[in-house]
Amino acid sequence: DSGVTQTPKHLITATGQRVTLRCSPRSGDLSVYWYQQSLDQGLQFLIQYYNGEERAKGNILERFSAQQFPDLHSELNLSSLELGDSALYFCASSLSGRSYNEQFFGPGTRLTVL
Amino acid sequence: TQLLEQSPQFLSIQEGENLTVYCNSSSVFSSLQWYRQEPGEGPVLLVTVVTGGEVKKLKRLTFQFGDARKDSSLHITAAQPGDTGLYLCAGGGSARQLTFGSGTQLTVLP
């Protein structure tokens, strides 16, 4: 158990819909990362937050957005969903957000778009 | 854009055999991490290397960071079925986030 929690574990929805994925970081960690993992793309970095502020952006689509709240939990919002958005979405947390810090990954949310 | 290529993509071996997984890039990384991911779970950190030429050992696993900090290798001695999983390398560079390789899916058959 990494100490990072993600909900829901599974999500099935239809194209065009909007969903919200939730992540609670390990106690004491200030930085949260979101990743998308699909079979043909590997683990793709989406976005990072540090202490409530956006720190770095990766290959995140404009249809996707995220935020980190004062209690440090984070939400990833996916809208106008397409079939290609079906993937595992992981949240990770680290103490300070530096690239050499160990990232602790949650169990992931499996999103299926039908 | 920093890219990391891993090879081989898939590896299936018998218990007791040795293997090496490679992680290569044309970019220099300030640090290199190796993670292992099991089905249905998130990746778990195995090791972090930060110095060119650094070698770290974790029981039967040996990790090496290239002298130029552009590549890394993971060697497993006497593989066991419990070593089965997806091995991911991840580089830390000028960007604050990690760049992950595409992964090596290892299957160790009993």
- Chain B CB within 8 Å of residue A65 CB: no
Of A40-49, A81-90, A92-101, least confident by mean pLDDT is A92-101
Burial of B43 (0-12, 13-18, 19+ CB in 10 A): buried
Give the up-direction half-sphere exposure of residue A21: CA atoms within 13 A in the CB hemisphere.
31
Give the pLDDT band of residue A2 (cuts 50, 70, 90): confident
Task: State whether A107 and B100 contact (CB < 8 Å).
Answer: no
Measured between beta carbons, the chain B residues lying within 8 angstroms of A98 are 92, 96
pLDDT surpasses 90 at A15? yes
Contact B42 A42 (CB under 8 A): no
Cα dihedral A95, B73, B71, B31, rounded to 10, equals 20
What pLDDT is recorded for position B93?
73
Please tell me the distance in Å from A35's CA to the nearest CA on chain B: 10
β-strand partners of B108: B13
**Gap from A70 CA to chain B (nearest CA, Å):** 22
Instruction: Report chain A residues whose CB lies below 8 A from the CB of B2.
Output: none
**Residue A92 pLDDT level (bands cut at 50, 70, 90):** very high
Residues 72-111 of A with CB under 8 A from B: 90, 92, 97-100, 102-108
pLDDT digits (tens, 9 = 90+) for A34-81: 999 987 667 899 999 999 999 989 889 999 999 999 999 999 999 999
Q: Is A97 exposed, middle or buried (0-12, 13-18, 19+ CB in 10 A)?
A: buried
Confidence at residue A50, expressed as pLDDT on a 0 to 100 scale: 92
Residue A100 pLDDT > 80, yes or no? no
Question: Are B42 and A2 an interchain contact pair (Cβ–Cβ within 8 Å)?
Answer: yes
Closest residue of A to B88, CA-based? Answer: A43
pLDDT score of B39? 85
- pLDDT, residue B92, reads 85
Residue B49: closest C-alpha in chain A = A100
Query: What's the rounded mean pLDDT across residues A5-30?
Result: 96
Q: What is the pLDDT of residue B94?
A: 64
**pLDDT averaged over 10-residue windows placed end to end, chain B, 110 residues:** 86 97 92 91 92 95 95 97 95 78 94
Q: Which amino acid is at A61?
A: L
| N residues, chain B | 110
